[in-house]
Structure 1
């Protein structure tokens, strides 16, 4: 297993953990844990593979489903003993975002050879699972919060693609992309970093038009 492939397993496992933690916050049963863990863990990668028109990764290799199920089971047992599940969810999500974003960029680049598609696939892979999780768990979606989320994933994916195109070893490019994405997302969680928000100007009186 290469270091790039490891990011795939890490991304699925950690996203599955965040889905299970969201289920614990909603006090769901074990089926709810399994469902949210699986949807969150494999959602982004499934959309990526369907768009790229390649075999869906968890159908080709069912171990991903076992990772999601095992993670859900562990969280189901241990979540009641965790003091701040939401804080853990945020940090696990940050690691998964960085790891899965870089792997998505890698797969997009391998399949198409396009830097642009690589970055887009990185963004999709790294963020869609968390967005689906928030919608299903009826949490405030990251898309509606003033947080650096998609941008952090995009930067990590772009750095990986740029360094890969420049000839750097894939594992080294992946490491730099991962650290940058996680650092930006971590700074958002820890220090409240935000992108500038849109400020609308007052509308003009119709008589002045």
Structure 2
């Protein structure tokens, strides 16, 4: 089969989507260290050298995948917040915890977002990412004003900062590797792996207490 160079914007976007989708499939079963351009190219119609025309590093592909996950989550948030005029703290926290717990790839990406992904991306890619996902943070800000109207601007800002700090770190603490789990069970025989959704909900209840 002859490989045709992408020339139009539609063709370029199609190639990028094929690369991102292959990365998504890999990342569902592989860890960050196991994902590489060779493995991605083997799952696409695009050769490894050609991938470099679109992405310089695997981290740039993962960043675009993370952006897609953010945008999908944003759509879920937007729809839910638009359909509800009043939410209790418990309902608000349940929704956020539920909406995240069903997005395992998103959570896996967040766990290495700042420590690994962003460190090996170009300034152009990073800037585009920040601009594209920024509306989600505004939606969350608006939701706090809507459902917790007495919350101060400072409390609103603090909640959002702490919420995202929480979800960046909670996933790896609730999804241990085999060695991590064995070590914990040896050190603490009564240890059980925490449930992400439950711990996220409990933490959100504590955070919303200040709204």
TM over 0.5: no
- TM-score, normalised relative to structure 2: 0.33
With the length of structure 1 as denominator, give the TM-score of the two structures: 0.33
